Amino acid sequence: GAVVSQHPSRVICKSGTSVKIECRSLDFQATTMFWYRQFPKQSLMLMATSNEGSKATYEQGVEKDKFLINHASLTLSTLTVTSAHPEDSSFYICSASRQGNNQPQHFGDGTRLSIL
C-alpha cells in the first residue's frame, strides 16, 4: 500500500498563533508532496507543490509568507500557517506521490484547523 500520515488531525487555537502540520509518507519515498485546502461541501483546492530539497511552488493567490512549506526529507513535508486568523480555519489535506510519471497521489486524513 501507500500510506500517508498527517498530524495533527485537529487543531483549535487562538488568533495570531502559528500552527505546524506534518505530512509523512510511511511506506514509500515521496519526492513530491502536495498541500490542499478544502472548504465544506467543496472540492480540494491545491495550495502548493512541495519538492524534496527545493522551494515549494505556490498556486496563484496563495500567500507563501502565510503558508510556509518545508520538504526536508523524502518522507516528510510540513505546512506552517503563520499568525493564523479565523479566515484560515479550514480542512488542510496533504498528498504524496512516489517518483515516476505514472504514480497516483495518496492522501493523508487531513487536519481540521479552527482559529478562534
Residues that bind another protein (CB under 8 A): 2, 4, 6, 32, 34, 42-44, 46, 49, 91, 93, 95, 97, 101-110, 112
Question: Whose Cβ is closer to another protein: residue 106's or residue 115's?
Answer: 106
Residue nearer to another protein on the CB measure, 59 or 63: 59
84 in Cβ contact with 76 (< 8 Å): no
Report how far residue 37's alpha carbon sits from residue 98's, in angstroms, rounded to the nearest whole number. 21
Smaller CB distance to another protein: residue 38 or 82? Answer: 38
State the minimum distance, in angstroms, from the CB of residue 43 to another protein.
Answer: 5
Could you tell me the smallest distance in angstroms from the CB atom of residue 31 to another protein? 10
Burial (CB < 10 A; 0-12, 13-18, 19+), residue 38, is middle
Q: Which three three-digit cell numbers place residue 6?
A: 498527517
Quote the cell numbers at residue 22.
Answer: 506534518
